[in-house]
Chains A and B, each alone.
Chain A
Amino acid sequence: MKLSRRDLLFGGAGALAGLVLTPVPWKLLSDVSIWTQNFPWIPQPAHGPVDTKFSTCTLCEGGCGLRVRMAAGCPVGVAGVRNHPLTRGALCPLAFAAHQLNWHPRRLREVRHNGRPASWSEAQAAFEKACGEGPIGIVDGRPGRAASTVFTAFTQKHHGSYQSVLSVESQALAPYADWSGLPVSSLGYDLENARTIVSFGAPVLDGWGTPGRFTRLWSEHAGGAADPQLRLIHIDPSFSRTAARAWRWVPICEGSEAQLAAGVARVLLEERLVSAKGPMPRLTLEDAAAQTDLSTEAIRDLAHTMVEHQPVVVIAADGNPSIAALNVLLGAVGAPGGIVRKRADSHPQASAAPAPSSLRALLVDSTVPWEFVTPASTEVFRFAAWDGGGESAGWLLPAPGFQEELTDVPTPSTSAREMYAVAANLVTPPAEIQSATQFLRQIDATLPEVEKVIHARCEEIFHAREGTVYGEHSVDVATVDTAAHLEEQLRQGAVWLGDSPVSAKFRCELKEWPTENRVSQGTSWASTWIPPVFPALATKLYQESTLRELPAWRLA
């Protein structure tokens, strides 16, 4: 029989109608939709055993407690620790995405020399050679750690020089160290007992010190109320976040903090608002008013307001001595609510010996900020976990990143009490990573191991029988049964906090008002964030919203 076109047409139409009644087209459609839900190029989270680990953040000196959720051996979420004595669950915005830092595109994964790939053995050989040829300097960005002990041991043995870089908060405490002869690391701010806090440009509500400490304190005792228990006065040329939430904002001309401090000091002394009798600044009130762009009335009013609710303490953004002198006048030095002395016998720091006139080589630890300038003539061995860009002369050595090495966390500079915590390595670092201490131990195996130093410190704390350990529950050290038990708790994320500053009293000798003509620079938030890069999700703050502007010195 001959097939006509009509037969084909009708046959085709019938087949089509029949097909619709079968599951075939519907299954194909739903397959298509399932495919659109599972595009092969969309990453899927790894699934594996879920665990929660506690640790302490090491990305700045704040030492905030971390609760890290792990899945399949990788950190997948970060939160604060509710019963951490200092932060009480608060963290800076960057911490919540810090667990992704180890995969930042600028993560260093290979040794580089003068911009070209090299190997660890080459770097080691070069360092050994340098050791033999002249004095070596070591720069430490976080003094007081177990690693710092290894550094000082090395420099003592090999006649080198040890240098520490102070955080900007530490620098603000430097004047008091100068005037009292005490080490900077033994001083702190007793904010918990202050009733008026005057900040000269320090972003106290936005990333200063241990970020959560003051935000929690302020929230409880002030919280934007019209007549708060804790008064925050913020002095800043710009309307910063701290200014927006402060009880009073005093807008001054940029760079005139020292002049305002002098003007206020004059009023305090002339009108006998403080018990101190001097030293009187040389600047007159009228000059101070002219240079700060405030009226003399405003300066007077500020001085009166400052002493209304005592204790009062002044916080400088950096080491401006004029502002520190104001604290001396106000009686805030060595008194509750002001600058206090933490337990004096904190881990002894090697005094920064004057550097030899020319160093053969310089080893810069990964805790040193990227902006640290190295002398041009020295061979530099720079440890870093992330590449901050710029010229790279010398050795660039890939160091452990976020929670990738066992280290300890010494007392944050702004804290009023001693603190000790241990950050265990939650993540196995990639094969090419080595820390500065591991590198040095390769060269000199007699150097102490970080783990052993930490062990010794835990023993010290145990034997001193003082302070409290804050883990799942808070426990007096006196009731802990063994040093090993204490160390185990610390290695699992607990925090030791010393007793209240017992020896708050100390004296500052100030003969005359500081004349150092120094322009104070307000710091912006995250100025103490060590890595040169922000976590990838920081784009939410800078690029995908207008909430913040990226600081010029940080790479997104």
Chain B
Amino acid sequence: MADLVVLDRRFIARGVERSSALRFMFWLVPWVILVGLGIYAAALCLFYGLNQTNMDNRFAFGMWIYLDLGMIALGAGAFFTGFLVYILKQEDLKPILNSAVVVGLICYSGAVAVLMVDVGQPLRAWFTFWHPNTHSMLTEVTFCITCYLFVLILEYLPVLLRNRQLRKVPSFLVFEHQLHKLVPVLAGLGAFLSFFHQGSLGGLYGVLRGRPFAFRQGFAIWPSTFFLFIISAMAVGPSFLILVTATAEAVTGRKLVQSTVFRKLGRISGILLGVYVALKAIDTLVWLNVTSRAVGFAPWDFYAYKPFGSALLFIEILPLGLLPVFLLTLPMTSKRRGWVLCGAALACSGILLNRFVLTVQTLALPTLPFDEYLQYIPSWQEVATFLGVIAYGVILYSLSYRYLPMFGQSKGVDKNVPVG
């Protein structure tokens, strides 16, 4: 046992304070259990088939797809922060860059892991690369997400290789140094790939002519949801970063970044969110009055089913849309940490609601004139798998925080953070 404690200490950077090994283990235990449960649920699905879930022929996409879209939107902070730092030269955001990459890696690897269980024949996943359909948004998503995951791994490697023990290996140091030079390229590539797959995720639903609730007109082959998803992802990425970092600060009891970083991220998020809300309002009006009318839907037809009433639309645009814009941009609130956190949480909720509306509500609504509204409640296997992914994220983040330089050099912050 004492050996483990010594070993653990050796991996922690010098001059850095971390909680005791025992305490860290206790912290990990519940998350490991959740991961175990998640693996068990996923194994059931892989072994017995997707009848272990509550998805059915009408709800062909369920909780997993919804959460995949949500996670990928929230993980947009990775590419966007990289874009801001390396392309737009916003150097004051550099301290948060590494943690952004970790969050991004967690979100994307988690989404891909869930996708592997979600498809009926995971062993055929490579068919998309072999027989790609250029008309399909999902082909684009598959290609881009796979490439971007690879990019994220490459961006994570330098952080990983700066671990105290790993640095001792000379070739790792050399490799890491070379990679470091590549980082701006990776950031640009990541931004480019993300632009497309964030948009394509929106396009997934926007092209569905058979689902007037989701279908949107657009520009060339891209429906308006393509662009709305990109903007909303860029808007919510920084907010999610704020929330995750604030949570980490609360759990570790240490200040990890300067409050200016939060403020800046918050303002960027707020401005982009404002642009998004404005565009979404216009898009909604066009969709309700022009696009849907053309196929016989009166504006409020979609909201006739009470659990999914028109309140949802207003909630998405106002308290979860416009309100966080104000909270994050107006001087009197944007300078206060509490309000910033509040605004970030509302923004993230708004985007999650938006993804929910577009994935689950779309499928609940009837398409044929004699369809019934249907209900869908995920099974425990679906919930457990997803909780397992969250737990995996917490574990990866915790390990990264404990053993790797997640929050880079910055003055005015606890010297618990190593230099270089």
B-contacting residues of A (Cβ < 8 Å)? 5-6, 9, 29, 32-33, 35-36
Q: Is the interface of B mostly helix, strand, loop or mixed?
A: helix
Cross-chain contact B171 with A32 (CB below 8 angstroms): no
Return chain A residues, CB-CB under 8 Å to B123.
32-33, 35-36
Return chain A residues, CB-CB under 8 Å to B126.
29, 33
Residues 109 to 150 of chain B near chain A (Cβ within 8 Å): 121, 123-124, 126-127
Return chain A residues, CB-CB under 8 Å to B171.
5-6, 9
Return chain B residues, CB-CB under 8 Å to A9.
171
Question: In the bound complex, what is the Cα–Cα distance between A66 and B123 (angstroms)?
Answer: 43
Chain B residues bordering chain A, tally (CB within 8 A): 7
Return chain B residues, CB-CB under 8 Å to A5.
169, 171
Shortest beta-carbon distance from A547 to chain B in Å: 14
Least CB separation from B57: chain A residue: A544
Of the A-B pairs whose beta carbons lie under 8 Å apart in the complex, a sample of 10, sorted by A's number, is A5-B169, A5-B171, A6-B171, A9-B171, A29-B126, A33-B123, A33-B126, A33-B127, A36-B123, A36-B124
Residues 56 to 105 of chain B near chain A (Cβ within 8 Å): none
Least CB separation from A35: chain B residue: B123
Question: In the bound complex, what is the Cα–Cα distance between A35 and B123 (angstroms)?
Answer: 9
Question: In the bound complex, what is the Cα–Cα distance between A35 and B127 (angstroms)?
Answer: 14
Return chain B residues, CB-CB under 8 Å to A32.
123
Residues 141 to 187 of chain B near chain A (Cβ within 8 Å): 169, 171
Question: In the bound complex, what is the Cα–Cα distance between A6 and B126 (angstroms)?
Answer: 32
Question: In the bound complex, what is the Cα–Cα distance between A550 and B169 (angstroms)?
Answer: 72
11 additional A-B residue pairs with CB within 8 Å, beyond A5-B169, A6-B171, A33-B126:
A5-B171, A9-B171, A29-B126, A32-B123, A33-B123, A33-B124, A33-B127, A35-B123, A36-B121, A36-B123, A36-B124
Question: In the bound complex, what is the Cα–Cα distance between A32 and B126 (angstroms)?
Answer: 10
Shortest beta-carbon distance from B150 to chain A in Å: 15
Shortest beta-carbon distance from B62 to chain A in Å: 20
Shortest beta-carbon distance from A424 to chain B in Å: 42
Shortest beta-carbon distance from A397 to chain B in Å: 39
Return chain B residues, CB-CB under 8 Å to A29.
126
Question: In the bound complex, what is the Cα–Cα distance between A35 and B121 (angstroms)?
Answer: 11
Question: In the bound complex, what is the Cα–Cα distance between A303 and B277 (angstroms)?
Answer: 69
Pick from A6, A9, A33, A35 the residue with the most CB of B within 10 Å. Answer: A33
Shortest beta-carbon distance from B126 to chain A in Å: 6
Question: In the bound complex, what is the Cα–Cα distance between A362 and B127 (angstroms)?
Answer: 65
Least CB separation from A5: chain B residue: B171
Least CB separation from B169: chain A residue: A5
Question: In the bound complex, what is the Cα–Cα distance between A287 and B323 (angstroms)?
Answer: 72
Question: In the bound complex, what is the Cα–Cα distance between A36 and B125 (angstroms)?
Answer: 11
Question: In the bound complex, what is the Cα–Cα distance between A86 and B169 (angstroms)?
Answer: 89
Shortest beta-carbon distance from B58 to chain A in Å: 13
Binary flags per residue of B356-382, CB closer than 8 Å to A gives 1, else 0 = 000000000000000000000000000
Question: In the bound complex, what is the Cα–Cα distance between A441 and B169 (angstroms)?
Answer: 93
Shortest beta-carbon distance from B169 to chain A in Å: 8
Question: In the bound complex, what is the Cα–Cα distance between A5 and B171 (angstroms)?
Answer: 9
Closest 9 CB pairs of A and B: A36-B123, A32-B123, A6-B171, A36-B121, A33-B124, A36-B124, A29-B126, A9-B171, A5-B171
Least CB separation from B126: chain A residue: A29
Return chain B residues, CB-CB under 8 Å to A36.
121, 123-124
Question: In the bound complex, what is the Cα–Cα distance between A36 and B126 (angstroms)?
Answer: 13
Question: In the bound complex, what is the Cα–Cα distance between A496 and B121 (angstroms)?
Answer: 54
Question: In the bound complex, what is the Cα–Cα distance between A454 and B169 (angstroms)?
Answer: 94
Shortest beta-carbon distance from B170 to chain A in Å: 9
Return chain A residues, CB-CB under 8 Å to B124.
33, 36
Return chain B residues, CB-CB under 8 Å to A33.
123-124, 126-127
Return chain B residues, CB-CB under 8 Å to A6.
171
Question: In the bound complex, what is the Cα–Cα distance between A229 and B126 (angstroms)?
Answer: 62
Question: In the bound complex, what is the Cα–Cα distance between A151 and B127 (angstroms)?
Answer: 65
Shortest beta-carbon distance from A51 to chain B in Å: 36
Question: In the bound complex, what is the Cα–Cα distance between A32 and B125 (angstroms)?
Answer: 11
Question: In the bound complex, what is the Cα–Cα distance between A9 and B127 (angstroms)?
Answer: 31
Return chain A residues, CB-CB under 8 Å to B169.
5
Question: In the bound complex, what is the Cα–Cα distance between A6 and B172 (angstroms)?
Answer: 10
Question: In the bound complex, what is the Cα–Cα distance between A406 and B409 (angstroms)?
Answer: 93
Question: In the bound complex, what is the Cα–Cα distance between A455 and B127 (angstroms)?
Answer: 63
Question: In the bound complex, what is the Cα–Cα distance between A9 and B123 (angstroms)?
Answer: 29
Question: In the bound complex, what is the Cα–Cα distance between A397 and B127 (angstroms)?
Answer: 54
Residues 326 to 384 of chain B near chain A (Cβ within 8 Å): none
Return chain A residues, CB-CB under 8 Å to B127.
33
Question: In the bound complex, what is the Cα–Cα distance between A267 and B325 (angstroms)?
Answer: 80
Question: In the bound complex, what is the Cα–Cα distance between A45 and B169 (angstroms)?
Answer: 60
Shortest beta-carbon distance from A35 to chain B in Å: 8
Shortest beta-carbon distance from B374 to chain A in Å: 13
Question: In the bound complex, what is the Cα–Cα distance between A29 and B124 (angstroms)?
Answer: 9
Least CB separation from B171: chain A residue: A6
Return chain B residues, CB-CB under 8 Å to A35.
123
Question: In the bound complex, what is the Cα–Cα distance between A18 and B123 (angstroms)?
Answer: 24
Shortest beta-carbon distance from A127 to chain B in Å: 48
Question: In the bound complex, what is the Cα–Cα distance between A6 and B121 (angstroms)?
Answer: 39
Question: In the bound complex, what is the Cα–Cα distance between A29 and B130 (angstroms)?
Answer: 11
Shortest beta-carbon distance from A448 to chain B in Å: 55
